Structure 1
Amino acid sequence: MFLITWLLGGTVPTKKTIKTYEYKSPPLSLFERLFLDRFWAALPGAVYPPWLAPNVITLAGLVCIIVAIALVLHHSPALDGAAPTWVYAAVGVLIFLYQTLDGSDGKQARATGTGSALGELFDHGVDSITVVLIAVCVQDAARVSYTDETLWLCVAASTCTFYLSNCSLVAFGRQQFFDVDVQELIVCLTVLCLYCGIVGATSAPRWMITGSLCCMVLNCLQLIWKLRDTEYLGRRCKALAAIAGGVAINAATIKQVSKEPFFATVPLVCCIAAAAGDLSRRLLLQRVADLPEIVDFVTPTGLLLWALALWPGRTRVVAAAASLAFYGVAASRTVVATAGALGVRALTVPTVRRSARARTPRKLD
């Protein structure tokens, strides 16, 4: 029974274990204070109809990034900037749409009175995947190449930063953001991709890539310092180290496992995204429910990420498919169980709640 539960992604919330808490908005970063927050707040009612569920908006943002990474990997599997210019223009637009949808789903939740712990779980679960995929898209626009270890170090660093940010959410009840943080970074990446959509992929100077990596490491260190007196620097950092180690060993062996860029990069990107998403899902479950933890630095998706470093040739797609399947099943179980425990609907706005939203606003999103 333990093995089956482990393979299915661990235990899930029930009505007895679900927590009740009040959502606390994180501090706004610079661009959010200047213009982003007002832009997002204007969308419910003006663009979003009242019957549109916030989680559907979140899913639409994920679809945007999946389309973006699919375009990049299809046209430039070696991540060396070989895609036509229109691909980078499309990626820039899709990243902008993702940021807009991701920033406004909570606004829609408050406008429709449908906020819940499920929305937070949904939102952060999607973000844990998109940080990986966006990092890969931008590295291609900068012509870094899949054989360059720095590319995968940047992917690992972005994953670590977001995971530690979620650790701060679980530890303190709200995420810890700085004046210059992820929203400012996404705006800059959008501009970069749109620029590449005009002139084509541009070889970024080495100092820019190294500088970006150093900034992410510095962000990680700041979050670790804030978490220093909590339990998350022990058990949770072991889980994070398992993923970072899996990325590192794949980066070191990627030249040997496959001579075909497509079968080298696509399975690795899929496995990293699935492992990062599953790791954040397990962490965020502790935010929404009182659950016994399974040792979460040994997971099916994590093991497949490590195994991929020794998986040769075209059969690597088997590992990628298995990793995505494990994560898909676990994420689906979590969403269905959490919705049932809370008595809410994941992808629809109930008619009763639509008519009563003005009388019974909820603070959770």
Structure 2
Amino acid sequence: MSGGVYIPKSREKNLHTYKYSGADDSLVSKYILGPYWNWLVSLFPTTIAPNTITVSGLALVGLNFLTLLAWDPTLNCGAAKLTPGYDARGPNDILPPTPLLARFGFPESVIAKQEGSGSACMPAWIFLTWSLGLFAYQSLDSIDGKQARRTGMAGPLGELFDHGCDAINTTLECILSTAALNVGRSYWSIAALIACLINFYLTTWEEFHTGTLYLSAFSGPVEGILMICVIYLITGLAPSGSQFWDRGILSVTGLEHFPFIAKNLRDWNLPLNDAFLTFGAFGLGANIVASYSNVARARLSRKQSPLTPLAGLLPIGALLTCMTLWMTARDAQIMADGQSFVALYCAFGLMFAYSVGLLIVAHVTKANFPYVNIALGWAIMGTIDARLPEPILQNSLGGVRLVAFGVLSMSFGLYGHFVYDVITTITKETGKPCFWVPDSVKPVEAKKAEGKKTK
């Protein structure tokens, strides 16, 4: 037998030596959510597989995404601010908001169409369900490892499954967040996805080189998700819904009523969504420094070059460069068409999940770093076609949509094949099923009870 497509026979034996290593410096995890997670996992019987818990959480996020597709499938609500007479100020606001980017960061192709009338904006209750769904996802995602240890099902498949679901959730939450923050099909939505995917990739890249999954005092899986839950909650409770985030930060905080600030800082009355996303950029910079510091320290302790791992950032750099160049090609024709934009946005999310999956497989099987993959190949080809003076395929609205949905379909098929092949290979090698706990595997509680009886 030659093994699977992604895990060759020669690497299967390394699955048995894999052992998870993690470090969480979050005070929220330790003192607030930790006790809640310990209580929550105790409610699940040991007959439920940890991967079942993980995929159940992702299903809730998928349901949130379906509500977005049902109400505003092309993210038109954010474009409502392009219509004549739109005023982002609240009833009592004095200063007008001053966006960092002209016309709230929308490309000229979207501005010219002035598509949004506000009629597609979602009702408040949807954002409240998003907040509940994401919090439930975080809860289930945080106890699957605990359930794995309770049931004796801990292993490499659990890490692959957990990280895979997290990678999918990253893209889905990014597009949901841009809808909630009312940035729609603007450059901000592309920047948000770039920041989210880099953050996630850095964590996985760091784990590959250090052997440990580090979660800092402020991490995406804990504080980041809680912050997004609060954004959804505020959007759902605000009278103006997602348009609340277009208000100026000096107006919302009341600082505009101080004469000195109103006079000297009026040009810095950033919309709340601009301010939040700018804050995220600073957070990304801090995470880059922290991740590389951990990698460099680990490499130096093994007397290895701290510079070599930087080559591992080239795949994600190439993928996100392709996404940016493709999305903005030909006067941002992808962004001008909501159907194409959402389809390609999700396609790049799947390409990213596939790239991260390859990296995790390499980590648990002790294989070489995966620098190249097929998804990057068609991302490059699609970008080149879009950037040609006369595109071969993307030379009309129909062609643009055909390519966008075609790439989405290919990415979905590729990632689906990856998931199936990896699950099949690991379950055959380890003897541990993916979605149920076999009778042959005794829960930890049962083993402890047997040990007491023996004594």
Q: Which TM-score tier does this pair reach, normalised by the shorter chain?
A: 0.7 to 0.9
Deviation (angstroms), 1:251: 3.5
Tell me how far apart the structure 2 counterparts of residues 221 and 124 of structure 1 sit (CA, whole Å).
22
SS of 2:433's equivalent in the other structure is coil
Instruction: Give the 4+ runs in structure 1 shifted more than 6 A.
Output: none
Aligned residues: 350
Deviation (angstroms), 1:219: 1.2
Tell me how far apart the structure 2 counterparts of residues 19 and 231 of structure 1 sit (CA, whole Å).
30
Tell me how far apart the structure 2 counterparts of residues 217 and 79 of structure 1 sit (CA, whole Å).
31
Q: Residue 359 in 1 paired to residue 444 in 2? A: no
Match of 2:245 in 1: 203
Note if contact 1:141-1:196 (Cα within 8 Å) is conserved in structure 2.
yes
Q: Residue 174 in 1 paired to residue 212 in 2? A: yes
Match of 1:65 in 2: 61
1:119-169 deviation per Cα after TM superposition (whole angstroms, max 9, x unaligned) = 1111112112211211111111010121x2221111111111111111222
Once the two structures are superposed, the pairs formed by residues 116-135 of structure 1 within 5 Å of their partners are 116-135=155-174
Q: Residue 220 in 1 paired to residue 288 in 2? A: yes
Tell me how far apart the structure 2 counterparts of residues 263 and 274 of structure 1 sit (CA, whole Å).
15
Match of 1:290 in 2: 366
Mark the CA change 1:307 to 1:136 in structure 2 (over 3 Å): closer, same or farther. Answer: farther
Once the two structures are superposed, the pairs formed by residues 1-365 of structure 1 within 5 Å of their partners are 10-12=6-8, 15-46=12-43, 48-76=44-72, 77-78=74-75, 80-81=77-78, 82-146=121-185, 148-182=186-220, 183-199=222-238, 200-201=241-242, 202-204=244-246, 205=271, 206-228=274-296, 229=299, 230=306, 233-253=309-329, 255-257=332-334, 259-265=336-342, 267-291=343-367, 296-309=370-383, 310=386, 311=394, 312-315=399-402, 316-354=404-442, 358-359=446-447
Note if contact 1:78-1:145 (Cα within 8 Å) is conserved in structure 2.
yes
SS of 1:358's equivalent in the other structure is helix
Tell me how far apart the structure 1 counterparts of residues 382 and 77 of structure 2 sit (CA, whole Å).
22
Note if contact 1:69-1:137 (Cα within 8 Å) is conserved in structure 2.
yes
Note if contact 1:268-1:305 (Cα within 8 Å) is conserved in structure 2.
no
One-letter code of the match for 1:62? Answer: L
One-letter code of the match for 1:203? Answer: W
Q: Normalising by structure 2, report the TM-score.
A: 0.71
SS of 1:347's equivalent in the other structure is coil
Identity of aligned residues (%): 22
**RMSD across aligned positions (CA):** 2.5
Note if contact 1:268-1:308 (Cα within 8 Å) is conserved in structure 2.
no
Mark the CA change 1:162 to 1:292 in structure 2 (over 3 Å): closer, same or farther. Answer: closer
Q: Normalising by structure 1, report the TM-score.
A: 0.87
SS of 1:26's equivalent in the other structure is strand
* Higher relative contact order, structure no. (Cα contacts within 8 Å, ≥ 6 residues apart): 1
Tell me how far apart the structure 2 counterparts of residues 209 and 284 of structure 1 sit (CA, whole Å).
29
Tell me how far apart the structure 2 counterparts of residues 286 and 109 of structure 1 sit (CA, whole Å).
22
Mark the CA change 1:124 to 1:62 in structure 2 (over 3 Å): closer, same or farther. Answer: same
Stretches of structure 2 lacking an aligned partner (at least 5 in a row)? 79-120, 247-270, 300-305, 387-393, 450-455
Deviation (angstroms), 1:252: 1.9
Mark the CA change 1:251 to 1:220 in structure 2 (over 3 Å): closer, same or farther. Answer: farther
Stretches of structure 1 lacking an aligned partner (at least 5 in a row)? none
Tell me how far apart the structure 2 counterparts of residues 247 and 195 of structure 1 sit (CA, whole Å).
30
Mark the CA change 1:360 to 1:306 in structure 2 (over 3 Å): closer, same or farther. Answer: farther
Deviates more, 1:243-252 or 1:184-193: 243-252
One-letter code of the match for 1:214? Answer: F
Deviation (angstroms), 1:19: 4.7
Larger Rg: 2
1:26-50 deviation per Cα after TM superposition (whole angstroms, max 9, x unaligned) = 224121012111111112232x122
